[in-house]
Structure formats: structure tokens, C-alpha cells
A and B are shown apart, each in its own frame.
Chain A
Amino acid sequence: MSLIKPYGDTLGDGAVQLSFTLPVAWSEAADEAARRLVAKMGFDDIAVVDGRAIASEFSFFVVYARTPVAIDVSQVRAPSATRDVLSLEQVDELIAERVGRKLKVAGACIGTDAHTVGIDAILNMKGYKGDYGLERYRGFEVFNLGSQIAVDELVRFAREHAVDAILASQVVTQKGSDIANFTALAELLEAEHLRDRIVLIAGGPRVTNLLAAELGYDAGFGRGTLPGEVATFIARRVAERVTA
């Protein structure tokens, strides 16, 4: 057991900061309402340190409070898709030796999402933060399909080009559109009997490897991911399959 709580300035103090807006004109009663609301959330020692009008019918609050609950970190599992990242040369070598051909990788922002910054950072030659993108690798043949690619269009492309890996990117998360699109892609690949042949990867600032696993993906990569991490994962996964 290793129970821990948020740390303010003393071990176990449980200090957290919250901020939120209430749809009410500001008054002292609004401050008190904010305090009681935080109390109903289960917090103790509540201090509403800032409460003020931000519009005629809305008030904004900054609150410090202590939580009575703790978490046992030893019981938490969230495996990362990133381990022992290989260099570009090592990835190319792994692919050349174990697979013996270029791996075809298709990437797209699926559904109506038009935000390609993330997928471009992973795929484009230039890469991200000095780490080269997949186009730079000899071991990959990259198809960056771009933005607003319908799920069935991506699956059709994957079949026609016999791709080894799909990178599906979602930035917009409004009303759960990202989960719906990711799910639709996994299900369609399954229905088309392509799922087992393809390394399926989800990406986006809100994506975690845990979420991706729940959605039936091989891996998920979130904010700050470097291209080399994705390259390593794809190369290892395909190499494992070839060996098996």
C-alpha cells in the first residue's frame, strides 16, 4: 500500500486548487454558494480566494480546499506505448532485418476534424522538436491523407494499399466526436477483416494509451509525443508479428 494525497506544502495535506464559473450574478451569496458547492464535492477547509463578476449573469471563482480521499498508486496501471525508444537508424535496421520491406503507414485526421498539426508533426519529414518524422525513415512508406478523412475512405485506402499501420488523429473532442470516430474506425476494420493485419494507432492531445487500449487500438499517443516513439512502436509490433 502506498496511499498518497495531493501535496500542498505538507505530506498528506490534500491541498487542491479549483476554478470554475457559476451562471449567477456575483454577490457575497455567490461566494458562499461556491464554497458550499465545493463542500458538496467532498472537500474540506475550503477557501474561496477569488470570487467576482465576469459578466452580468456569470461569476468566476478560485478556490483552495483539501480532499479527504487518497489513492493507492501501487494499484494503478497505465502502461505507456513508449519504451526504449530506438533511433532512426535502429528502426530502419529493425525493419530491414526482420521484415525486409518498407512498412506502409497511412495517417489521417478522421471524421470532420481538420486539425493536422499533430499528425503532420509525426509524419512530415521535418518532424517535431528536432526528431525526424516518419517520412524521413527508409523503413516507412508514408501516406499522409490529411484532414477530414471519412472513416470508410481511410479503410478503403488501407485495403487498396495493403497498409501495415494506420495512425488516426483526433483533436476536436466536442460532444465525444473523437471517441465516436475512433470507435467507428476500429469497428469498420474489424468488419472488413483487416484489423488483425494492421497496427492501429490513435493519436491526439487528449489520447492516452489506456484510452486507446479500451477502444481496441494497439497503442495511443498523447501530447508531446515524438515521431521516434511512434516509429519504434510500429517497427517493433510488425517485427513481432513477422516472427510469430
Chain B
Amino acid sequence: MQLRIDQDAVARARRLAGAIVDPIEDFIARHSTVSVERAVARLCGIDGADAEGVPLPNRLLDALAVRAGGVAAALGAAVAETGRTPQQVAEAVAAGEALPDPAATPPTALRAALRPYVDAGLARIDAARRERDAMLARLPQARPPLLYVIVASGNIYEDRTAAVAAAEAGAQIVAVIRSTAQSLIDYVPYGATTEGFGGTYATQENFRIMRAALDEVSERLGRYVMLTNYASGLCMPEIAATAALERLDMLLNDSMYGILFRDINMQRTFVDQHFSRQLNARSGIIINTGEDNYLTTADAVDQAPAVLASQFVNEAFARRAGLPDRQIGLGDAYEIDPDLENGFLLQLAQAQLARQLFPDAPLKYMPPTKHMTGNIFKGHLIDAMFNLTSVMTHQSIHLCGMLTEAIHTPFLGDRALALENARYVMGTARGLGDELEIKPDGIVERRARDVLAGAVRLLEGVAERGLMAAVETGTFADVKRARDGGRGYDGVFAKDPAYWNPFADALAGAAATA
């Protein structure tokens, strides 16, 4: 099943996306954020929290006399002057000690002092990646679409039970949904957690608990079960760092989602997404972008060009952070009103278009949510049509729709029914997409053409105004966000000439040679 696509329009879309993100990349190169710096601290081995529960990376950042040089220089100076480890330095700071002035230590000395810890952090990331590669070779996954389910009880131990049960029922990817407010808190909570709303806090310990449980069930089932969390919100880079250390396999990570849908400052988000994605590139983590949000908040038929435009922008940002296409899981969702005649054809057009435009990307297909009601019987049918679209168009990452969507966070039985639905439809129709040909100039092909043309027009408008101005004037999702507004703006700062981020340096080097 192939659409005939105007390749000139595709090339033009990619050129425009490049022209849109390049000026932002210049901005990114000149700035850092508190969350980037806290990620650096974590990668140097700093973990734990003080008596009040404030994470040590936050205490360390708060103790910096000036941020502009970066936390690594301050940490390197402290290590050089005191002979302590970075963790001991952070503990001393939490106990009330001041940090030495990094300007008093020669740059070569402070860099040399921190170097072993930087190398150890990178080595941990690389070891986790090698471990994943080895497990995937030994415990191969089933064919895509990879069936992905969420767990969201609020209690990591109940989540663990649910995740293991889901894996046994056929899930290949398990995502732990975060507590609803976590994207807006400017620290990563510490330790195992059992209280959350609409989800479970992302913490390093929770990551470890889930990874261990999924490793065990992977061995038992003979297929590797992937773990997913969210590198979004105010702590994007820290989550990316923690996920890299604890061998998560996927992270939700979008270049604009936080700006539009969580009112996080755009400068903060642009800088944070870049370092996050550099880390993801090194750790082999597949990102999942959030285009589904354009569809859930507005009419899905109207918003189709916005989805495609966003996919091009996400791809451009991700490639510039060194992510190879095989790690860029661009998003889309099955959200067209079920009452619309031939709505299924429009879904098929959009999904097939994405498949052909991003052939090497592990596309992430999101299930219906907006038009799901308490009518679970109809909901199960809508999910079946979604499953059919996914297998026909060779989507890669398939978030299974729940018949109880819009009622409650999934019950254990709901997940089993959803997986059964997906396995049935994808099994019985496995080769359907390859058997059919798309009618030239039919409904599907015309729709795909219109969506691509619409996306190009949208990108032209954004390229003309510049991305930040476009966001300010409500080009995306009808949401207007000020350049200096939103959450987390006070955590953005310009780097001074002495700024040092040894991880960014190492990751940029890797990207250049990849």
C-alpha cells in the first residue's frame, strides 16, 4: 500500500523545518538551564536528598554563587580543592558548607579533577546501552507494531504487579504514567513512592524497581520488555540522565509539548530538549514525540497538517541533537470523530503518509481518547479500528487503547482485553496493508496530499515569523505563549565564556562522528 507523494513538497517541508530550528539552535548553544546543570550533577554521581527531601542536585544548584559558568566547573573546583567526591561535595553543601569560587582554581586543574567522574558517568550510560543491546539480541521482541501499555496506579509496587501481568498478556513496552503535577515541579523526587494522582512519580528508585521487575519477566518470557517514562516538563534533562543510567528504553520527549500544553517557558524547553536528546542519543533511548496532543485539544480533521508539521520540526530538532532516525519515535493519534463518514479513511491516509515520509522512524501511534465515552462496548470497537490502521500502515510503537478510556486509569483486566484486541486484529490482518493498493486520486490519496500541502503552508508561516514568534502568536494548537512567560523561565541563563559542560562536549562530539 503506497501513496504517491509530491517529493518536492517533502523536500520543501524538511528545508523549512531546518530553517525553523536553526535559529533556535543558536539560542540553545548560548544558554543553559538549572535542569541541564542538575542533570550534569546527577551524571557525576550525585544522588539523594537532604533531611527536608530536597534533592542534592537542587541543593548544589542553589549553592552556586553564579550559574553562568556551569555546575561542572564549581564541582570540579570543589573536588580539586577538597579531595572529596562530587557526592561528598553535595552532601557538604547540603550540610551548609559554601562552595569554593571556581575562578580560584585553574581551569585545567578543575577539569582534570572532575574528569574521572565524568568518564564514570558516561561509562555507566554506555554499559546500560550495551546491556540493552545484549538482552535484545538474546531475548528478541515480537514484530512491530510493538504493543505498549501504561500503568498508572500511583503506587510503584502496584505498578510493578500490573506491568508484569501486562507483559505476560503480551505487552512489549510498559510506560509508567507520571503523577499529574510532576511535569510542573522543578526537581526529581527521591526514592520509592506509593502516592501519586493519575500516575506514579518518576524517581530513580522507581525506575530501578520497574527495570528489575521487567528484566525478570523478560527472561521468563524469552522476549525483552521495554520500559518507558516521561522526559518532559521542567526536569526533562534530569529524567533523561536518570533514564540513561537505569536503562529505560523509551522516553516521551517533545520539543514543544511543554510550552503549548503545560505553559512551560519556551526558552527553557528548547534548551532542555536539546541536552535531553543528546543524552538519549548516547543512551540508545527511543524518544516518543507528543503530536497526539494537537488532536485531543482541537478537531482532529483540522489539525492533521499541524501534526505533520510538528513531526518535521521534532525530527529537525532531534537530528540536530544527534539522534539517528531509528530513535525518533514521531507521534500521531487516532482521534477523528467516529461519527464522521469515512473518518477511518482519513486516519489511514495520515498514518500511511507518516510511514512513507519518515521510513526509518519508529512511529508512535496513539489510541482514541477524545471520543471515548462510558460506552465501553463501542470503545472496544473503535480501538479495534485503530489497531487495524496501525497494522495496515506498519506503525512501530502501538499504544493499546483501553475500552475504559475516559472512565478510570486502566484496570488490570482492561489491559488484558486491550492486548487481546490488538493481537487479534494485528494477527488476522497482518499482511492486509501489503496486499492492497491505494486508489490513485481516491479519498485516501487526496487527503494525504491535502495534509502535506497544509503542513508545508504551516511551516512556511512559521519559518517566515520565526518559531518563537509563531508560538507567541498562537500558530500551534491555538495556544499563545510569551517568550519570557510560563513556568521555569527563571531557570534559564546565558553561558559565560568559561562555561563548561563536559557531558554536552562529549555528546556533541559523538553526534558529529555518528
**Hey, which bits of chain A sit against chain B, CB under 8 A?**
19-21, 54-58, 60, 112-114, 116-117, 120, 124, 126, 146-148, 171-175, 177, 205, 223-224
Which residues on the A side are within 8 Å of B299 (C-beta)?
A: 126
Take A56-B168, A148-B184 as given contacts and tell me if A19 and B413 are in contact as well, using a CB distance cutoff of 8 Å. yes
Give the distance in Å from the alpha carbon of A205 to the alpha carbon of B184 in the complex: 24
Give the distance in Å from the alpha carbon of A54 to the alpha carbon of B263 in the complex: 40
Mask: chain B, 417-429; 1 = CB below 8 Å from A; 0 = not? 1000000000000
Contact partner of B179 (CB less than 8 A), chosen from A20, A112, A146, A173, is A112
10 closest cross-chain pairs (CB), A and B:
A55-B165, A54-B416, A21-B413, A112-B181, A55-B168, A172-B198, A112-B180, A60-B413, A177-B197, A114-B180
B4-12, B104-112, B404-412 - the one binding chain A? B404-412
Interface residues of chain B: helix, strand, loop or mixed (majority): loop
Contact partner of B154 (CB less than 8 A), chosen from A54, A120, A174, is A174
Told that A177-B197, A205-B407 touch, could you supply 8 new A-B pairs with CB distance under 8 A? A20-B413, A21-B412, A21-B413, A54-B413, A114-B262, A171-B406, A174-B197, A224-B373
Chain B nearest CB from A228 CB (Å) reads 18
Mask: chain B, 62-91; 1 = CB below 8 Å from A; 0 = not? 000000000000000000000000000000
**Hey, which bits of chain B sit against chain A, CB under 8 A?**
154, 164-166, 168-169, 179-181, 183-184, 197-198, 261-263, 296-299, 370, 373-374, 406-409, 411-413, 416-417, 478
Chain B nearest CB from A151 CB (Å) reads 14
Take A54-B416, A174-B408, A175-B197 as given contacts and tell me if A117 and B165 are in contact as well, using a CB distance cutoff of 8 Å. no
Chain B nearest CB from A17 CB (Å) reads 10
Which residues on the B side are within 8 Å of A126 (C-beta)?
A: 298-299
Residue with the greatest number of chain A CB neighbours at <10 A, chosen from B169, B198, B297, B299: B198
Contact partner of A117 (CB less than 8 A), chosen from B296, B373, B374, B412, is B296
Which residues on the B side are within 8 Å of A205 (C-beta)?
A: 373-374, 406-407
**Nearest chain-B residue to A55 (Cβ)?**
B165
Contact: A54 with B165, CB < 8 Å? yes
Contact: B298 with A146, CB < 8 Å? no
18 residue pairs from A and B, CB less than 8 Å apart: A19-B413, A21-B413, A55-B164, A55-B169, A112-B180, A112-B181, A112-B197, A113-B180, A113-B198, A114-B261, A117-B297, A148-B180, A148-B181, A172-B197, A173-B408, A174-B408, A175-B197, A205-B373
**Nearest chain-A residue to B416 (Cβ)?**
A54
Chain B nearest CB from A115 CB (Å) reads 8
Chain A nearest CB from B235 CB (Å) reads 16
**Nearest chain-B residue to A146 (Cβ)?**
B263
Give the distance in Å from the alpha carbon of A114 to the alpha carbon of B298 in the complex: 15
Which residues on the B side are within 8 Å of A117 (C-beta)?
A: 296-297, 370
Give the distance in Å from the alpha carbon of A54 to the alpha carbon of B478 in the complex: 43
Contact: A57 with B181, CB < 8 Å? no
Residue with the greatest number of chain A CB neighbours at <10 A, chosen from B164, B183, B413: B413
Chain B nearest CB from A126 CB (Å) reads 7
Chain A nearest CB from B160 CB (Å) reads 12
Give the distance in Å from the alpha carbon of A150 to the alpha carbon of B406 in the complex: 23
Contact: B263 with A175, CB < 8 Å? no
Which residues on the A side are within 8 Å of B416 (C-beta)?
A: 21, 54-55, 58, 60
Give the distance in Å from the alpha carbon of A55 to the alpha carbon of B164 in the complex: 8
Which residues on the B side are within 8 Å of A20 (C-beta)?
A: 413
Chain B nearest CB from A146 CB (Å) reads 7
